[in-house]
Structure 1
C-alpha cells in the first residue's frame, strides 16, 4: 500500500490543473484492476468510438457533445486508459457530467477483482466514494463519517492517514476531495498525476442516458408546520 495523503493531490485545485474542468462540471473517476479499457466500456454498454490523446482533447470532445445537442445531451462521454497499479495493469475511466450507467455496473465490473470510484456532481455539494471487491460493495460514503457497505469501518484507519475523519466533522484545513484521491491510491496503487491525465491515450465512447421510466400518475405527500399531512393524487393528463 502506498503512503499517499491529501497533500499529494493538492494539484487538483491549482489554476493550471487539468482536473479543474472535471470538478466544475462533475465527474466520475473509476479504477479497476485487470479489466481492459475496451472491456470496461463494453460492460457499461458503450461502443468505443476511437482514441484521443490527452485530457485536453477529451474535454474538447465532451464540450462538442454538449454543444451539439439542441436541448439536453442524450449521452455523456467516457474516456478509459491503461495505468499501472498494485498487482499489474488497471484501467482508469473518466466520465464528465455523469457516471458509467446502472447502479449494478460496479458490481459487475468488480467481479473477481477490485474497483474503486469517486465522483462529484459539479457545483452542488455531493461527492461520493465507492470501494468494491469481488462484486461486493465494501465501503461507500458521501460524508466520511456516514458509511455503508459490507465492511463500512475497514478503511477507518487509512481514512485518518489520508486526511479524512471517519468519526466526525472534516478538518477545515484538509481538502476532502484530495484526500479521496489519496484513499483511492491507497487501495489501488494507482497514482493519478497531472502528467498521467494530460498525456494518456483515452479510448472513448458515448454512454447513453437511461430513459426515464414511463408513468401514469403521481402522489404528492405534504406535511405542514403543524404536522398535518395532505395527499394530492395527479394523473398525467392533468399536467
Structure 2
C-alpha cells in the first residue's frame, strides 16, 4: 500500500505556535552536522544545545549585534540527513550560503520571519532549483520553478497569477504547507518530538543580511 503524501493536516502543529517566530529549518542530505557547519563556515561551540529558551535567547542576542547568525545542526535518526534550525535567522534561505552547501547533494529550507514574510528554498548540486514566497506562490524563481507544481496544487497553494491582495486567503496554513512540501522533497517527517529530543551542534556564521528577509 502506497503511503499517503504529506499535507498541511500532517503539520497542523507547526502553525499552532510550537515554532519560534521567526524560524528557519533546513534539511541537507548526506552531510553530517560537522560537515554542514564547515560548509557554512560556522564557528562551532564545544557544548551541544537543545532547542530551548537558551537556544532562543542566544540566537536573539547574537542577531542583535548584527554580526552573525546562530544555527544548530543535528542528525535525523535513522536517516542520511542533517536537520538545521535557526531561531530568528535566515541562513538556510540565503542562496549565497546554501549553494556551496548543496554541492553534490540536496538542500531544502523554509522560513517564516513574522509580519507576513515567508520563504521556501530548494538547491541541488550548486543549482537553485526553486525559490519562492509561499504567500505569493505564483511568483517562483529557480532553474525548475514548475518542478513541484503538482505537489503544490495538492497541498493547496494559491497559484493564481492574477489574484489581487483582496483575493489572497491569509488563513491558509503557510508554515504547514512548507513543511509538507519539504517532506515531499526529502522524505523526512519533522515532528515536535524530533525537534525537542535532539541535541544540536551549534555555532555562528557570518552571512549577508538581505533587505527583504
Q: In which range does the TM-score fall when normalised by the shorter chain? A: 0.7 to 0.9
1:54–1:76 Cα change, 3 Å: same
Deviation at 1:198, TM superposition (A): 0.5
Q: Which residue of 2 aligns with 1:76?
A: 69
Q: Which residue of 2 aligns with 1:4?
A: 6
- Structure 2 counterparts to residues 198-217 of structure 1, below 5 A: 198-208=196-206, 210=208
Q: Which residue of 2 aligns with 1:92?
A: 83
Tell me the TM-score normalised to structure 2 length.
0.82
- What is the aligned counterpart of 2:147 among 151, 154, 158? 154
Runs (5+) with no aligned partner, structure 1: 213-239
Q: Which residue of 2 aligns with 1:39?
A: 35
| Greater Rg over alpha carbons, structure | 1
1:165–1:48 Cα change, 3 Å: same
- Structure 2 counterparts to residues 16-55 of structure 1, below 5 A: 17=18, 19=19, 22=20, 24=21, 26-55=22-51
Match of 2:91, SS state, is coil
Q: Deviations over 1:27-51 (max 9, x none)?
A: 2211110011111111111121034
Q: Deviations over 1:95-119 (max 9, x none)?
A: 1222228632221111111111111
Higher strand proportion, which one? 1
CA RMSD of aligned residues (A): 2.6
Q: How many residues were matched structurally?
A: 200
Q: Which residue of 2 aligns with 1:140?
A: 131
Q: Which residue of 2 aligns with 1:218?
A: none
